[in-house]
Structure 1
Amino acid sequence: MSGEKDEKQLLHLVFGGELKKLGSTEFRDLEALDIVGIYPNYRTAQAAWKAKAQASVDNAHMRYFVVHLHRLLEPDMKGSGSE
């Protein structure tokens, strides 16, 4: 096991791609989106996001995002604070 069995699973998706223009969230090519992965908690998702964001720092139009999937799956659930 992962050693995190006491921690509640709160799924997060990390993905990114090139934006059409700076300041927007509209992507240039949806087929070219980089789906980094789905993570069991915000901490690991943030680490994956940070690595991808730093690796693409030379491309000003490239942006990565963390999506709180658990909020979409259980919209009535209250957040746990640090996410």
Structure 2
Amino acid sequence: MSDPKSKQLLHLVMGGRVKDPRTLEFQDPHSVHVVGVYPSYDEAVDAWRSQAQRTVDDAEMKYVIVHLHKLLDPEALGK
């Protein structure tokens, strides 16, 4: 059973080919690869690292972690 005091913090891992490696503007937003949604940052980092290492030789491929919990509950950020 999970700890009732621990709060679920969802994270999305996604990536794809970007127009410029210094930005996050995807060449084709319809082809963004959604790796998955993870219940903890540690799990998201593991998934991100796996995908990023797989594409390390392609400078135009970029994977990111999106903190969904911050988007779902923006009022919690000030607490």
Task: Sort the TM-score into its range (normalised by shorter chain).
Answer: 0.7 to 0.9
- Decide which structure has greater helix share: 2
1: CA distance, partners of 2:16 / 2:37: 16
Quote the sequence identity (%): 49
Q: Which residue of 2 aligns with 1:51?
A: 50
1: CA distance, partners of 2:7 / 2:32: 29
Q: Which residue of 2 aligns with 1:30?
A: 29
TM-score (norm 1): 0.84
2: CA distance, partners of 1:22 / 1:53: 13
Structure 1: runs of 5 or more not aligned = none
Aligned pairs, number: 76
Structure 2: runs of 5 or more not aligned = none
1: CA distance, partners of 2:71 / 2:77: 12
The answer to whether structure 1 residue 71 and structure 2 residue 37 are counterparts is: no
RMSD: 1.5
TM-score (norm 2): 0.88
2: CA distance, partners of 1:78 / 1:27: 28
* Moved >2 Å (runs of 4+): none
